[in-house]
Structure 1
Amino acid sequence: MTTHQVPGTSIDYHLVRYDEDGTELPDGDGSRTSAGVLTAAKDGVTDVFLLSHGWKGDVPAAIRQYDTWIGVMVRQQADRDRIRAVVPDFKALLVGLHWPSLPFGDEKAPAVLLGDSPAEAPESEGADEFADEARMDAGALIDAYVTRLTAADSDAADRDAVRTALARIVAAADEPEVAERVAEGDLPDDLAESYATLYEHTLVASDGATAAPGADNDVFDPRLTIEQWAGDAPAAEPAPDLLLGPFDGLADLAAKARQALLMPVRQLSFWTMKRRARVVGESGMHDFLAAIQREAPSARVHLMGHSFGCIVVSAAVAGPVADDGSLASPLPRPVSSLFLVQGAMSLWSYADDVPFAPGSSGYFRAIRDSGLVTGPIVTTRSEHDTAVGRLYPLGARVADDVLLGDDLPKFGGIGAWGIQGTAGHDTVVLAATEDYGFTPGEVFNIEASRVISAGGGPSGAHSDIAHDEIAHLMWQAVTVSALASPAPDR
């Protein structure tokens, strides 16, 4: 068993790692961290915190994110005093869940897991995946996306077909005639065929906005995606060798064409990563959560996810969802709170009834039907999160631009719109000293643009979550859930 200490504190957390199928990965000595967590959970723990990172997180990045996030939680002294007033014997167990969500990341257990601090990455490294891609040569880029778009057990023919199609797409940007056509919104037929090949041989399905994560998307239309990206890309401050913005007269036509031609590929990888987040959450992580509840039957469990991690933690609570929407293997008991930060998951995920599909409910609606969250379900959203606000629905807005009620889209993410289609409360982010008045079992959508505001490039402020005000939200949910369901005497 290995633990990691948050720099500058005495706080330890466990890092439990999973592969893309939800199977736990062993530590270097062959042991499994989950076993140590289960042992620790029985040692007077009152509250277990399970945290999941989102997209673009390899092991070092996950550690940096958990170090930062837990550090912000720790410095909320007033909140910590408040929970101890409610739960005098309060004892927390912190667990970071890791799943492979970076196509060219480091998934090995590095020395940092043995107690060393993670090496500081250059400020630009990992901050903008598009920028990282632009520094890769064609071969490395193709290898990365073959891994991202296909399953580990895909047969050789599938992988070869994907590789050939990617090679054609990547090479096309270096052809001036193709670059000029792409700049004009045109797509040569052979490239259209290459995109069709990618779609055919990847794990993506287009089953509509109420389907499981990874299939809750519109029909794949690479022409439309390229057109939208060219005309409506988020503002950026590109490095001299990168052009991430729209076709606005900047010099390097080939670089701009490469970005546009890769957008449908990124869209496919976005959908495959949503599917992976669900698979990992509903399999190994769900089983782990159930085991914690069995080993520590009086401990409350709180889950927090960021980005695609919101799918991970939702799926961990739900487990496999049957065709009729029921839960195939419900948890032994409800969890105490659920915090979904800038969620890259459908705004209709928890809907009672989806407006554009009468009689249909959100994929995770059974979590609420079964009362599997006794405390509040809290979300954040920000107008500055362009990853969720613009990239999430890319390729769908024009093809199927459905706006409902108060301009709610058919395809959109929680990080831009909150949870919709069910009873909930909408409010703005408050100072870290103020009380939200959360109530158990209800949804609270927090408009946090005032705080979640910093960031550039295509992702915008998507990862700008390490703020006192945001950590205070989680502590408020934890405290309310403790008041609603105090742990039994030990």
Structure 2
Amino acid sequence: MQIAGFPYQTVQFDRRGAPVARAEVQAAQDQVLAHDLSDLLVLVHGWNSTIDSALERYTHFLKVARPLLDGELRPGFQGRRLGVVGIVWPSMRFADALQIPGGAASADLRPLLKEELEAAQALFADAPDSPIPAALEELRRNLAVLEDRGSVRRSFLKAIQAQLHASATQHQEPGIPDKNLKDSRVKDRLSTPVRGVVAGDVQGHAAGTLFNGPLQVFRNLLNLTTYYEMKDRAGQIGQTGARGLLRDLRAVRPTLRLHLIGHSFGGRLISAAARGPDGDPPLPIDSLHLLQAAFSHYGFGEARPPAPEGYFRPVVTQARISGPLLVTHTKNDLAVGLAYAVASALAGQNASAIGDRSDLYGAIGSNGALNAGAVEMTLGNDTPLDFRPGRIYNLHADMIPNHGDVEQPGVVRAVLHGVLAG
């Protein structure tokens, strides 16, 4: 299959990281040999629901890339042959309505909560070992009377506590203190207006109304459960299935350059693939590109109290990326900022700092990679770019208008410059 002149192959994984069809892995290996590829772009989506929507996103990215490769960047890529693998993994489409405009919190949230509840049930349908599916079903049965059902909230909170205790993310990022997951604290922190949810009050967002009301408490808790599940799942698939795929591809051509490009939770997936499990043999990656990634802004950082060493710090200290590591970030990305605001509020962070660089629970897609010695740059469509191997670059990319629209020409151009330097 060809997309915009690139040889392309999809590889799908299940929630545990096993290939859905081993034939797809073989087809990806065959593609490397048949087209004598020198470089492979590995594209990974974030919250998504179908293979079709993932393919649509990948097609958009490659169509933006093609004229850049045929024009401005043609001399640099002379003699290099690029192919593409698009990874598809089971996440969910996270509602853009997370970005509640001013005043909406006073409206009836029940239809929105119902929609998000159904999406969460679909996400957890293949997780029978989790306490969450039963708790979600109890929410569904009581949706009409949730405001009067403190017992439902307590039951749901108990399931969330069990989920977080078993969560890899809770141990790999600054975790929510267990004492703050008590019902009284949850009600107080998620039903009281919180200011500064996204630093800078982007586009007049009425942060003060974000957490108002009993239904919003349930909605924030629901968002928290799906965020943790998708981050855990992305990490598991990255360390197992995606890393195994990369080894398989290198096995057929040891000189193949690997360039990992992940959006949202896909950024966590590719970071986990680059890091690998503790004790795993090295797997050199040639460049890593995080487009509005949904994990901690301390993920690559050294320990600087109160922030612990980032889980992905070995990617930096052990030089697991031979080329550059690019991180786009913008306050326009309310979805990432607001998602982390829930954890910040539950943890008792100073409300005025929630979402900014001083927030222990801030997101890399909001603030870039912190405590990691990153080079700070403001990215424009024509910004001079000269990325160096082994460096991290925080690209302040306000050209990205929201969480999803990362295929902006300036962003794709930066990624291709990163590939060129890898």
TM bucket normalised to smaller: 0.7 to 0.9
Task: Identify the residue that residue 301 of structure 1 maps to in structure 2.
Answer: 258
**C-alpha distance in structure 2 between counterparts of 1:373 and 1:398, whole Å:** 35
**C-alpha distance in structure 2 between counterparts of 1:101 and 1:287, whole Å:** 20
Return the letter of the residue paired with 2:190: I
**Aligned-pair distance for 1:337?**
0.6
**Aligned-pair distance for 1:89?**
1.9
Task: Identify the residue that residue 45 of structure 2 maps to in structure 1.
Answer: 53
Question: Residue deviations 1:91-119, cap 9 Å, x none?
Answer: 11101111111179xxxxxxxxxxxxxxx
Please, which of 329, 342, 352 is the counterpart of residue 381 of structure 1? 329
* 1:423 and 1:443 in contact (8 A); partners too: yes
Task: Identify the residue that residue 32 of structure 1 maps to in structure 2.
Answer: 23
Please, which of 98, 119, 141 is the counterpart of residue 88 of structure 2? 98
* 1:293 and 1:299 in contact (8 A); partners too: yes
Per the alignment, do residues 226 and 258 of structure 1 end up closer, same or farther by CA in structure 2, a change over 3 Å counting?
same
Per the alignment, do residues 247 and 262 of structure 1 end up closer, same or farther by CA in structure 2, a change over 3 Å counting?
closer
Confirm whether residue 42 of structure 1 aligns to residue 3 of structure 2: no
Per the alignment, do residues 77 and 287 of structure 1 end up closer, same or farther by CA in structure 2, a change over 3 Å counting?
closer
Confirm whether residue 468 of structure 1 aligns to residue 409 of structure 2: yes
TM-score of the superposed pair, with normalisation by structure 1: 0.72
**Aligned-pair distance for 1:398?**
6.5
Task: Identify the residue that residue 396 of structure 1 maps to in structure 2.
Answer: 344
**Aligned-pair distance for 1:144?**
3.9
**C-alpha distance in structure 2 between counterparts of 1:349 and 1:54, whole Å:** 17
List alignment gaps of at least 5 residues for structure 1. Answer: 105-125, 179-187, 238-243, 250-255, 323-327, 454-460, 482-490
Return the letter of the residue paired with 1:52: V
Question: Residue deviations 1:173-200, cap 9 Å, x none?
Answer: 4x5xx4xxxxxxxxx6424412323214
List alignment gaps of at least 5 residues for structure 2. Answer: 101-108
Point out the structure with the larger helix share: 2
TM-score of the superposed pair, with normalisation by structure 2: 0.83
Please, which of 145, 169, 190 is the counterpart of residue 172 of structure 1? 145
| Superposition map of 1:230-249 within 5 A | 246=209
Task: Identify the residue that residue 6 of structure 2 maps to in structure 1.
Answer: 11
* Rg larger in structure: 1
Return the letter of the residue paired with 1:91: R
* 1:103 and 1:145 in contact (8 A); partners too: no
**Aligned-pair distance for 1:383?**
1.1
**Aligned-pair distance for 1:427?**
1.1
Return the letter of the residue paired with 1:89: G
Per the alignment, do residues 153 and 469 of structure 1 end up closer, same or farther by CA in structure 2, a change over 3 Å counting?
same
**C-alpha distance in structure 2 between counterparts of 1:258 and 1:248, whole Å:** 9
**C-alpha distance in structure 1 between counterparts of 2:193 and 2:216, whole Å:** 9
**C-alpha distance in structure 2 between counterparts of 1:268 and 1:230, whole Å:** 20
Per the alignment, do residues 248 and 351 of structure 1 end up closer, same or farther by CA in structure 2, a change over 3 Å counting?
closer
**C-alpha distance in structure 2 between counterparts of 1:415 and 1:439, whole Å:** 21
Task: Identify the residue that residue 148 of structure 1 maps to in structure 2.
Answer: 123
After superposition, the CA RMSD in angstroms is 3.5
**Aligned-pair distance for 1:166?**
2.1
**C-alpha distance in structure 1 between counterparts of 2:392 and 2:46, whole Å:** 21
Confirm whether residue 335 of structure 1 aligns to residue 316 of structure 2: no
Please, which of 311, 316, 319 is the counterpart of residue 276 of structure 2? 319
Return the letter of the residue paired with 2:55: I
Equivalent pairs counted in the alignment come to: 401
Confirm whether residue 409 of structure 1 aligns to residue 359 of structure 2: yes
**Aligned-pair distance for 1:136?**
7.7
Please, which of 388, 396, 402 is the counterpart of residue 439 of structure 1? 388
**C-alpha distance in structure 2 between counterparts of 1:195 and 1:62, whole Å:** 32
Return the letter of the residue paired with 1:223: K
Per the alignment, do residues 37 and 329 of structure 1 end up closer, same or farther by CA in structure 2, a change over 3 Å counting?
same
Per the alignment, do residues 141 and 424 of structure 1 end up closer, same or farther by CA in structure 2, a change over 3 Å counting?
closer
* 2:191 and 2:214 in contact (8 A); partners too: no
Confirm whether residue 22 of structure 1 aligns to residue 12 of structure 2: no
Per the alignment, do residues 23 and 410 of structure 1 end up closer, same or farther by CA in structure 2, a change over 3 Å counting?
same
Return the letter of the residue paired with 1:341: L
Confirm whether residue 369 of structure 1 aligns to residue 361 of structure 2: no
Confirm whether residue 193 of structure 1 aligns to residue 154 of structure 2: yes
**Aligned-pair distance for 1:466?**
1.6
Question: Residue deviations 1:330-368, cap 9 Å, x none?
Answer: 344x111111011111111111223315xx421011112
Question: Residue deviations 1:36-71, cap 9 Å, x none?
Answer: 111221242110000111023432221111111111
Task: Identify the residue that residue 420 of structure 1 maps to in structure 2.
Answer: 370
SS at match of 1:368: helix
Task: Identify the residue that residue 68 of structure 2 maps to in structure 1.
Answer: 76
